[in-house]
Amino acid sequence: MLYFNNDYSEGCHEKILEALVKTNYVQTPGYGEDDFCARAAEKIRAACGREDLGVHFLVGGTQANFTVIAAALRPYQGVLCAASAHINGHETGAVEGTGHKCLALPAHEGKITGKQVRDAVLAHRNDPSFEHMVQPAMVYISQSTELGTLYSRRELEELSGVCRELGLYLFLDGARLGYALAAQSNDLTLSDIARLCDVFYIGGTKVGALFGEAVVIGNPAINRDFRYMIKHQGGMLAKGRLLGLQFDVLMEDGLYLKIAKHADRLADRLRDALEALGVPFLVPGVTNQLFPILPDTVLAALGEKYVFCEQERVDESHRAVRFCTSWATREEAVDELCADLRLLLKQ
């Protein structure tokens, strides 16, 4: 079987493996206080163009999300997000487990707008029962989104402006940030993101690492005692060096972007093939996730050779599915998939 169901089906980029092998017997302090972590953090600060950023390495995305949110909010506060946001639907209530409500807004192609945020916050503030309602205090977005779409620089600036005007934190979940930055239509840099958000993370798990997310904190109020928060939430890795080492490799010589670009270009190739075949999409994906709408019969045939994800039923005979490429996807696999699609769809 060929796996296109997600971007975490393989191990890690070979340079990471090499570094692991090479440094295996180096003795270091534990809990992220080693030189690998320090070096990786420096590279991330440099890439963001800011010396004052807090950088912390966490094992996974759910952990990063709830640790950041619990660090930022007071008990009665909640986080505005798209109804389709990962924290709202696919983390088994981990954020609520820290006591905070996800305040879901209707999403368009996985995204929410500054206007929606402003309206929600003002509706709350103008409600005579405002103290009986969860106080929105943070906005959570994903880049790229759960539907493979992107916030443009203008959209992010609008969100950031509204958040600063109204006193909310802006948090960007970058589990797939590499694939966002490498997209052809992207117009945002790491510096932009560091400037416009209070906190974000650079996802490693889905972009070449064995595991790991680099949380980057520009707002000192969130960074305060953040290592206590990590430990309290169960995310302090004894051999923290493993996280530092991986980001040290990924941030060297633009490797992170390079491997993300590989995935995006292969997704572009697949999208072009599907479009040429007249296949419609659930959303116009521009990164490494595509959501074509295909006939059940075609999907049944494809399912014998390819692994992909069910997204949703569209009509009686069609479903939207998800195809992912990744840093590890082989060109030949994509070409084979394109060829098979052509065969099946021309029948």
The interface region with its own copies, picked from 177-185, 224-232, 254-262, 268-276 by CB under 8 A, is 224-232
Q: How far is CA 208 from CA 9, 15, 326, in A?
A: 11, 10, 8
Q: For residues 296 and 315, give the distance between their C-alpha atoms in angstroms, rounded to a whole number.
A: 10
The DSSP annotation for 250-313 comes to HTGGGHHHHHHHHHHHHHHHHHHHHHHTT--BSS---SSEE-BEEEHHHHHHHTTTEE-EEEEE
By beta-carbon proximity to its own copies, the closer residue of 13 and 271 is 13
The interface region with its own copies, picked from 44-52, 184-192, 305-313, 317-325 by CB under 8 A, is 305-313
89 touching its own copies, by CB under 8 A:
yes
17 touching its own copies, by CB under 8 A:
yes
Handedness of CA 58, 46, 10, 18 (dihedral sign): negative
The interface region with its own copies, picked from 106-114, 223-231, 266-274, 316-324 by CB under 8 A, is 223-231
CB of 58 to its own copies, least distance (A): 9
Window 61 to 80, contacts with its own copies (CB under 8 A): 61-63, 66-67, 70-71, 74-76, 78
When binding is defined by CB under 8 A, the residue of 51, 106, 131, 316 that contacts its own copies is 131
Q: How far is CA 267 from CA 121, 214, 281, 308, in A?
A: 37, 25, 13, 14
310 touching its own copies, by CB under 8 A:
yes
When binding is defined by CB under 8 A, the residue of 31, 252, 277, 299 that contacts its own copies is 31
Window 188 to 207, contacts with its own copies (CB under 8 A): 205-206
The interface region with its own copies, picked from 26-34, 38-46, 114-122, 295-303 by CB under 8 A, is 26-34
Q: For residues 230 and 55, give the distance between their C-alpha atoms in angstroms, rounded to a whole number.
A: 12
Pairing of strands 309-315, 318-324: antiparallel
When binding is defined by CB under 8 A, the residue of 172, 180, 270, 328 that contacts its own copies is 328
By beta-carbon proximity to its own copies, the closer residue of 14 and 272 is 14
By beta-carbon proximity to its own copies, the closer residue of 93 and 284 is 93
Residue 15, judged by CB atoms within 10 A of its CB (0-12, 13-18, 19+), counts as middle
By beta-carbon proximity to its own copies, the closer residue of 113 and 135 is 135
Q: For residues 267 and 258, give the distance between their C-alpha atoms in angstroms, rounded to a whole number.
A: 14
